[in-house]
């Protein structure tokens, strides 16, 4: 559905919901209830296409997903085999396809994820690639929950990396050679997951089977974002 048509459907459905809801409240009857149900159906059946701006998730058919996985899987598996053989580790510049022309400008403080940024290029998993967001430390507490220590942690912590899973189907293009600004690989992604390209975040411990083999990462714990009040305090502290 096009953006214009989708917007019309949502505006009309919400207008019907509010208008006929008021009608049903002040003058209960069969007609306003039927119209009210129609408004709800219009919203629910198009909820995935709600035009909330950047970050709306694309709809891909299973056939398209298979095509993209078959396209990118061999490319990145070969890339990481070669980097392991050459003992070469690298970062990658991630670009948001929807904001392509923002590069190489440096964005000022704002809400949401940057249009381009640099992260670790760590490896692959079954359905995509792994990006390394930060090295950190974990320790399992008496409550069986894992607690993160970025600085000044106890002695018996485990060194892990916060990893982001990026499915092959959000990849639009890959430039392994870099450009005039950054001589690092460049990755062009659709930010399909709430304005981010990450399907899932988890803490992983780095391992390898033998020398010159690609690294892999054993999951230690799922990443749990801090409570919203803590995130709000952290954001306010930046200003």
168 and 60 in contact (C-beta within 8 Å)?
no
Provide the β-strand partners of residue 172: none
103 and 187 in contact (C-beta within 8 Å)?
no
Token pair listed for 70? 């078959």
> Is the residue at 55 inside a domain?
no
Q: Which of 41-45, 112-116, 165-169, 205-209 has the lowest mean pLDDT?
A: 41-45
| Separation CA 187–CA 176 (nearest Å) | 8
> Is the residue at 151 inside a domain?
yes
pLDDT 10s digits, 70-111: 999 999 999 999 999 998 889 999 999 999 999 998 876 656
Q: Are residues 110 and 168 in the same domain?
A: yes
197 and 190 in contact (C-beta within 8 Å)?
yes
pLDDT 10s digits, 48-58: 445 444 445 78
Q: Are residues 33 and 117 in the same domain?
A: no
Count of structural domains within the chain: 2
Q: Are residues 207 and 109 in the same domain?
A: yes
| Separation CA 166–CA 168 (nearest Å) | 7
Q: Are residues 216 and 155 in the same domain?
A: yes
| Separation CA 136–CA 14 (nearest Å) | 46
Token pair listed for 111? 């809400």
Burial class (CB in 10 A: 0-12, 13-18, 19+), 90: middle
Q: What's the average model confidence in pLDDT over 142-163?
A: 87
pLDDT 10s digits, 196-231: 999 999 999 999 998 888 899 999 999 987 665 555
> Is the residue at 34 inside a domain?
yes
82: number of Cβ within 10 Å: 12
Q: Are residues 42 and 68 in the same domain?
A: no
> Is the residue at 219 inside a domain?
yes
Q: What's the average model confidence in pLDDT over 135-164?
A: 89
DSSP 57: P
Q: Are residues 124 and 39 in the same domain?
A: no
Q: Are residues 100 and 152 in the same domain?
A: yes
Q: Are residues 45 and 77 in the same domain?
A: no
Rounded to 5 degrees, what angle do the CA atoms 171, 90, 198 make? Answer: 35
Q: Are residues 16 and 113 in the same domain?
A: no
Token pair listed for 53? 């701006």
Q: What's the average model confidence in pLDDT over 103-124?
A: 85
As a whole-number percent, the residues of the chain with pLDDT over 70 amount to 73
Q: State the residue range of the domain holding 162.
A: 62-237
87 and 211 in contact (C-beta within 8 Å)?
no
> Is the residue at 56 inside a domain?
no
Per-residue CA distances from 44 to 10, 19, 191, 195 (Å):
10, 17, 23, 21
Find where tokens 């970050």 sit. Answer: 55
In this prediction the pTM is 0.72
Q: Are residues 111 and 34 in the same domain?
A: no
Q: Are residues 98 and 141 in the same domain?
A: yes
The end-to-end CA distance of the chain, in Å, is 40
């Amino acid at each position: 559905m096009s953006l214009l048509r989708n917007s019309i459907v949502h505006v009309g459905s919400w207008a019907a919901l509010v208008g006929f809801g008021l009608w049903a409240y002040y003058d209960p009857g069969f007609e306003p209830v039927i119209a009210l149900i129609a408004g709800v159906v219009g919203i629910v059946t198009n909820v995935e296409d709600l035009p909330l701006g950047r970050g709306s998730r694309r709809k891909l058919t299973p056939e398209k997903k298979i095509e993209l996985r078959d396209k990118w899987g061999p490319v990145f598996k070969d890339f990481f085999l070669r980097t392991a053989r050459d003992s070469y580790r690298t970062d990658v510049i991630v670009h948001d396809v929807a904001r392509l022309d923002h590069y190489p400008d440096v964005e000022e403080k704002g809400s949401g994820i940057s249009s381009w940024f640099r992260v670790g290029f760590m490896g692959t998993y079954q359905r995509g690639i792994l990006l390394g967001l930060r090295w950190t430390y974990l320790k399992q507490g008496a409550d069986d929950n894992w607690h993160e220590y970025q600085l000044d942690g106890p002695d018996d912590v485990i060194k892990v990396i916060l990893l982001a899973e990026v499915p092959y189907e959000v990849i639009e293009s890959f430039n392994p050679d870099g450009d005039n600004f950054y001589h690092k690989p460049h990755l062009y992604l659709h930010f399909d997951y709430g304005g981010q390209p990450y399907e899932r975040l988890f803490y992983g411990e780095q391992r390898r089977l033998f020398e010159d083999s690609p690294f892999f990462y054993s999951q230690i714990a799922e990443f749990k974002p801090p409570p919203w009040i803590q995130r709000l305090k952290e954001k306010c502290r930046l200003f």
